[in-house]
């Protein structure tokens, strides 16, 4: 079996961000609830963005670093999302073209609510490990939800994508038999239409905890692992960081018998690094677990490498607990630097401008037959971000259901 | 037991407002507060059931009924 792991990571978190405390104030939301959210900012999707542009913009820096020779070894590209632009043609098919990936490539899209990204990673890694070809796979996961204005979900509804290049284990080593599974039927989250999110918050949180404990127990049955001591760091699906803190509190008590003081210490030591990036971006649904994984590798770096437990949950529901081995000095890698760049490239916008963006967001929703000049009113945000990130793919127009994309650079040329 | 947990999580809550027809949301509990109340009650009662069993309760009365169904005899 070929040694496989996370070789590189790319990120794209949009061109604009809004301060969560300002959003709370503008909406008249109860300020006390901020404490349990643990969010600082959130990314905002523009009308000229969809999962195709986000996937491509997340992956392009990774492929630039990989070079032409490496790019030719990519044999799988998969996009996991709950925001597909077409019910037949996959976002991966679009991404495959715009990223100029080889024709000798397996191309598909995955939907399994928020578990999609980690599920895709597991399948792609396993296919690489089982092959003697020494190929690579590109797993991209993300989402561009339509925020529910005025709800308590809105402050955490973000936008963006994470691209994980699987190949040589430079950032983390993947292990074929280190996983635990737990799934059952529930109806905690649905998206029956592209702009309709139906969520039972309490059921979702309870199911998330059940699955964390269930998948971890399944993991430990096969690996003789101990939740409290076998991992130096933990990264979990993060709809909002406060939910991870709550779930960790319950799991640490039930699985390891930790008391309140030990739980607080354990959270700071093993979990908080994984929440640094999510606290700046918000919920990117299928991409949440991979974003937490990237955040942990960026902010929890060791000189010798360490064991990293990854927990993924998707509504509906399905889950997986995965054991990776993080490499040494992951904070000094190009992936870490690009994660920072993806955050800093965003322009801070007021709630007033954020509302103006949302007012026209439905103009370009998947299923829309026609829309002209999708960059109207937001091109300044795109050019400002492109000055930091390099060229960005954007949706230019929609004609008879055909989405026409264009590359935008800092000069909008 | 449920009332005790609720007042522990929300110490400023008026105990008289904790009635079966009230939902935890209407009493000011956010999603993490509600999780703490349910998990705390389940553990205090020695209930071994999956937590998602209690995720559909519309108010405290329904939650109490679901909890009573699972209390070990």
Q: Which residues lie below 8 Å from residue A404, measured CB to CB, with a gap of 6+?
A: A395, A396, A397, A398
The per-residue pLDDT for B73 is: 78
Q: Which residues lie below 8 Å from residue A211, measured CB to CB, with a gap of 6+?
A: A182, A183, A313, A317, A318, A319
> What tens digit of pLDDT does each residue of A51-100 get?
999 999 999 999 999 999 999 999 999 999 999 999 999 999 999 999 99
Q: Is A360 helix (H, G, I), strand (E, B) or coil?
A: helix
Q: What percentage of chain A has pLDDT greater than the value 70?
A: 99
DSSP assignment letter at A267: I
What average pLDDT score do residues A273-302 get?
98
Between β-strands A233-236 and A306-314, what pairing exists: parallel, antiparallel or unpaired? parallel
Q: How far apart are CA A208 and CA A206, in angstroms?
A: 5
Number of neighbouring beta carbons within 10 Å of residue A230: 14
Q: Which residues lie below 8 Å from residue B14, measured CB to CB, with a gap of 6+?
A: none
Read off φ and ψ for residue A265, nearest 5 degrees: -65, -45
Q: How far apart are CA A189 and CA A285, in angstroms?
A: 11
User: Tokens representing A223?
Assistant: 């690996």
Residues of B in contact with A246 (CB under 8 A): 32, 35-36
Looking up tokens 């991404």 gives: A95
Sheet arrangement for strand A41-44: A41-44, A16-19, A347-348
> What tens digit of pLDDT does each residue of A171-205 get?
999 999 999 999 999 999 999 998 898 999 999 99
Instruction: Please say whether the beta carbons of A98 and A52 come within 8 A.
Output: yes
User: Tokens representing A326?
Assistant: 């993080």
What average pLDDT score do residues A138-165 get?
96
DSSP assignment letter at A327: P
Does the annotation mark A374 as catalytic?
no
Q: Is A193 helix (H, G, I), strand (E, B) or coil?
A: strand
Shortest Cα distance, chain A CAs vs residue B61, angstroms: 16
Shortest Cα distance, chain B CAs vs residue A234, angstroms: 20
pLDDT score of A413 more than 70: no
Q: In angstroms, how far is the first alpha carbon of chain A from the final one?
A: 47
Q: How far apart are CA A119 and CA A80, in angstroms?
A: 9
Q: Which residue on chain A is closest to B55 by alpha carbon?
A: A203
Nearest CA among A245, A255, A303, A308 for reference residue A278: A245
| Phi-psi label, residue A186: left if phi above 0, alpha if psi -120 to 50, beta otherwise | beta
Q: How far apart are CA A361 and CA A357, in angstroms?
A: 6
> What tens digit of pLDDT does each residue of A353-385 get?
999 999 998 899 999 999 999 999 999 999 999
Q: How far apart are CA A313 and CA A315, in angstroms?
A: 7
Does the annotation mark A317 as catalytic?
no
Between β-strands A189-193 and A196-199, what pairing exists: parallel, antiparallel or unpaired? antiparallel
Q: Which residues lie below 8 Å from residue A324, measured CB to CB, with a gap of 6+?
A: A5, A6, A172, A173, A174, A175, A178, A293, A307, A308, A309, A310
Q: Which residue on chain A is closest to B58 by alpha carbon?
A: A202
Among the partner-chain residues B32, B50, B55, the one whose CB lies closest to the CB of A36 is B32
Q: Is A371 helix (H, G, I), strand (E, B) or coil?
A: strand
Mean pLDDT rounded to a whole number for chain A: 96
Q: Which residues lie below 8 Å from residue A188, measured CB to CB, with a gap of 6+?
A: A199, A200, A203, A204, A207, A315, A316, A317, B52, B55
Q: Is B8 on the interface with A (CB under 8 A)?
A: no
> What tens digit of pLDDT does each residue of A226-272 get?
999 999 999 999 999 999 999 999 999 999 999 999 999 999 999 99
Does the annotation mark A306 as catalytic?
no
Query: With a CB-CB cutoff of 8 Å, which residues 31-90 of chain A face chain B?
Result: 32-33, 36
Looking up tokens 């692992």 gives: A225
Nearest CA among A39, A35, A27 for reference residue A278: A39
ipTM for the assembly = 0.94
Best mutation target, B10, B27, B32, B43, to test chain A (most A CBs within 10 A): B32
Q: How far apart are CA A371 and CA A375, in angstroms?
A: 10
The per-residue pLDDT for A2 is: 76
């Amino acid at each position: 079996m070929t040694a496989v792991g996370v070789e590189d990571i790319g990120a794209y978190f949009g061109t604009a961000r809004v301060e969560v405390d300002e959003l709370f104030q503008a909406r008249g939301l109860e300020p006390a609830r901020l404490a349990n959210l643990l969010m600082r900012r959130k990314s905002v999707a523009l009308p000229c963005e969809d999962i195709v542009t986000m996937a491509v913009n997340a992956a392009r820096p990774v492929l630039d670093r990989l070079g032409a020779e490496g790019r030719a070894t990519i044999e799988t590209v998969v996009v996991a999302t709950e925001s597909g632009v077409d019910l037949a043609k996959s976002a991966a098919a679009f991404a495959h073209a715009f990223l100029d990936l080889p024709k000798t490539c397996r191309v598909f899209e995955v939907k399994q609510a928020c578990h999609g990204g980690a599920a895709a990673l597991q399948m792609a890694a396993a296919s690489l490990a089982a092959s003697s070809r020494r190929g690579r796979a590109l797993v991209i996961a993300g989402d561009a939800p339509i925020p529910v204005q005025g709800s308590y979900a809105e402050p955490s509804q973000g936008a963006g994508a994470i691209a994980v290049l699987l190949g040589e284990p430079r950032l983390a080593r993947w292990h074929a038999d280190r996983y635990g599974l737990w799934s059952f039927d529930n109806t905690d989250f649905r998206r029956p239409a592209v702009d309709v999110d139906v969520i039972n918050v309490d059921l979702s949180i309870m199911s998330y905890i059940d699955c964390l404990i269930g998948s971890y127990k399944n993991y430990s049955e096969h690996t003789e692992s101990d939740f409290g001591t076998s991992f130096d760091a933990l990264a979990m699906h993060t709809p909002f960081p406060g939910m991870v803190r709550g779930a960790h509190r319950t799991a640490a008590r039930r699985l390891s018998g930790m008391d309140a003081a030990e739980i607080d210490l354990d959270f700071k030591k093993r979990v908080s690094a994984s929440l640094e990036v999510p606290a700046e971006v918000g919920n990117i649904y299928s991409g949440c677990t991979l974003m937490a994984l990237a955040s942990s590798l960026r902010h929890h770096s060791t000189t010798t490498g360490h064991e990293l437990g990854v927990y993924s949950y998707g509504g509906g529901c399905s889950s997986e607990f995965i054991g990776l081995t993080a490499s040494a000095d992951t904070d000094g890698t190009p992936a870490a630097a690009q994660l920072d760049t993806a955050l800093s490239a965003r322009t801070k916008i007021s709630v007033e401008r954020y509302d103006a963006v949302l007012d026209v967001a439905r103009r370009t929703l998947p299923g829309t037959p026609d829309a002209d000049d999708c960059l109207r009113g937001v091109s300044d945000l795109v050019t400002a971000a492109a000055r930091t990130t390099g060229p960005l793919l954007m949706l230019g127009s929609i004609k008879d259901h055909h989405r026409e994309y264009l590359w935008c650079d800092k000069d909008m040329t | 037991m449920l009332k005790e947990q609720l007042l522990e999580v929300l110490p400023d809550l008026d105990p008289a407002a904790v009635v079966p027809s009230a939902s935890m949301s209407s009493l000011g509990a956010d999603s993490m507060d509600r999780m703490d109340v349910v998990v705390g009650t389940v553990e205090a009662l020695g209930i071994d059931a999956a937590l998602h069993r209690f995720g559909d309760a519309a108010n405290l009365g329904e939650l109490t009924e679901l909890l009573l169904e699972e209390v070990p005899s």
